[in-house]
Structure 1
Amino acid sequence: MARSVAFDVQHTHVDPAAWDGIYIVGDPHGCREAVETLCDRLSLTDSDLLIFVGDLVRKGPDTKGVVDLVRSAPNMLTVRGNNEEKLLRGEKTVAALTAADLDWIADRPAVISLPETLITHAGVDPRKPRADHTVDDLQTVRSMVPDASYQPPFWFDRYDGPERVFFGHTVLSAPIVREHAVGLDTGCVYGNQLTAYDWRNDELITVAAEETHEARPAEKFISPSVSTPQ
């Protein structure tokens, strides 16, 4: 159910009363096998909701499989990540995706919300009012240093709420769990893990990647201990 909020972008609100379990999942990047393993680990039922932080697509071996899985499941939602946006802008292509798949991707929201919770692909910019956030901000924000990408401080070092923001996009060696920010992109496609957060029980669930589909240097994984709240 969509509702108007301070963000001037596509937004979907989720009523938690409609679901038993609610799980928020990091970037799959075409790793359908890891998603299916995670669903088994969660013992996911039709009464449970899975929400992805975006980047279902590219880099991994089965983008079409991940899109088909999420698109066909009434208990799976996703925000639109920057890699989805690259497909929509024609900057990147995935041959297996159909025009109907791309239309479905274009209809995905930039923000999903639960009570006291926001889910975006990259995060929020604490320097900006909500109404000034663009889709690009929500899909790409990371470093607070001009023209930098992986140099601290990061947006989640400066953000102090009020909502807790769940995000992906920034590749982490392990999840970041803070009062107001939870980072879930633990680099499944790069051979690390796929991570889910149990929203009701405040617990992390991870599955190890079975293989590395794209190489990534160690310095491009952010360690939670490197980035300190300030």
Structure 2
Amino acid sequence: MSGTSEDVGVALAADGPAAGRLTADDFSAAVAPHVRRIDPTDYDDVYVVGDVHGCRAELETLLDRLDLGDDDLVVFVGDLVRKGPDSHGVVDLVRSLPNAVSVRGNNEDKLIHGRKDLPAVTDPFDDYLDAMPVALLLGDAMVVHGGVDPRRALDEHDIEDLLNFRSVPPEAGYDGPFWWEEYEGPTRVFFGHTVLDEPVVSEHAVGLDTGCVYGGALTAYDLKGDRVVAVPAEREYQPRADRKIIEPPAPYRG
């Protein structure tokens, strides 16, 4: 599969120098070609949305709540697809928005590399997933699906790390501690992947997967308004063990 930046819904810049900010040169050679930048000052409002997982009805409700204008931007943290009832509908809806982009999630990655599949997938759908950046530089912030390992430099991370990183050390799984509890910046990282009962909002990390597909909520963060907007799931589409839904400690709760 192959795709271009035009496939992802907004004009994405291949990253270049920006004073005091991350650039593609700060990433590993494997990741750098998949890094893009958007300047949030080009938009009136900017919203970052958590894992949708095929929940089109909830996404429609959330977008109605956000009351988007033509000059607003919506950024998704990945995992638009799989597990929920309408993956194709979610992708179609995101692609129809005037200004929207998603980073690649681990579930898009599974489709790209043939580890999972969806019925009736077309070439344009595949190309759209393939064109998703792994990391999106959003002003002074960064959007990735999984997270970062606070023990390592950014250029020591591969694609798998940025899509899947959760705990320190990784083998701790859902027992933690979680990377965002150890991470001290300076770049603020927006992420999904780890299912939370409430969003994580701290100086250096914002976690937005509040488990919509598991009966939780679909959550957006208003970047310029510094607020959280969430809509409840219409129902539980898939069960999930309680131990795999994380309750953030008080200092991190949004």
* TM band (smaller chain): over 0.9
Tell me, yes or no, if the aligned pair for 1:7 and 1:133 is still in contact at 8 Å.
yes
2:90 corresponds to 1:78: no
1:113 maps to a residue whose letter is L
Distance 1:208 1:25, change over 3 A: same
What's 1:53 paired with? 77
- The CA RMSD over aligned residues, in Å, is 1.6
Q: Which residue of 2 aligns with 1:100?
A: 124
CA contact (8 A) 1:152 1:227 kept: no
Find the aligned partners of 1:96 and 1:53 in 2 and give their Cα distance: 24
2:164 corresponds in structure 1 to 140
Verify the 8 A CA contact 1:78 1:108 in the aligned structure 2: yes
Identity of aligned residues (%): 51
Superposed structure 1 runs of 4+ greater than 3 Å apart: none
Summarize the Cα distance change of 1:166–1:97 in structure 2 as closer, same or farther, 3 Å threshold: same
Q: Which amino acid aligns with 2:98?
A: P
1:39-65: per-residue Cα shift (whole Å, max 9, x none)? 100111221111000000000000001
- Distance in 2 between residues matched to 1:212 and 1:34, nearest whole Å: 12
Q: Render the CA deviation track for 1:112-159: whole Å, top value 9, x for unaligned.
A: 112221110011111221112111100000011352311111111111
CA distance in 2, matches of 1:223, 1:190: 15
Deviates more, 1:181-190 or 1:109-118: 109-118
Among residues 230, 233, 251, which one is paired with 1:206 in the alignment?
230
| Correspondence 1:2 to 2:14 | yes
For residue 226 of structure 1, report the CA deviation from its aligned partner.
Answer: 7.8
Runs (5+) with no aligned partner, structure 1: none
Write the distance in 2 (CA, Å) between the matches of 1:135 and 1:99.
Answer: 23
Aligned residues: 229
Structure 2 gap segments, 5+ residues each:
1-12, 17-22
More helix by share: 2
Q: What is the CA–CA distance in structure 1 between the aligned matches of 2:59 and 2:210, rounded to whole Å?
A: 13
More moved, 141-150 vs 152-161? 141-150
Deviation at 1:193, TM superposition (A): 0.2
Is the contact made by 1:126 and 1:158 (CA closer than 8 Å) also made in structure 2?
A: yes
Distance 2:230 2:14 in 1: 30
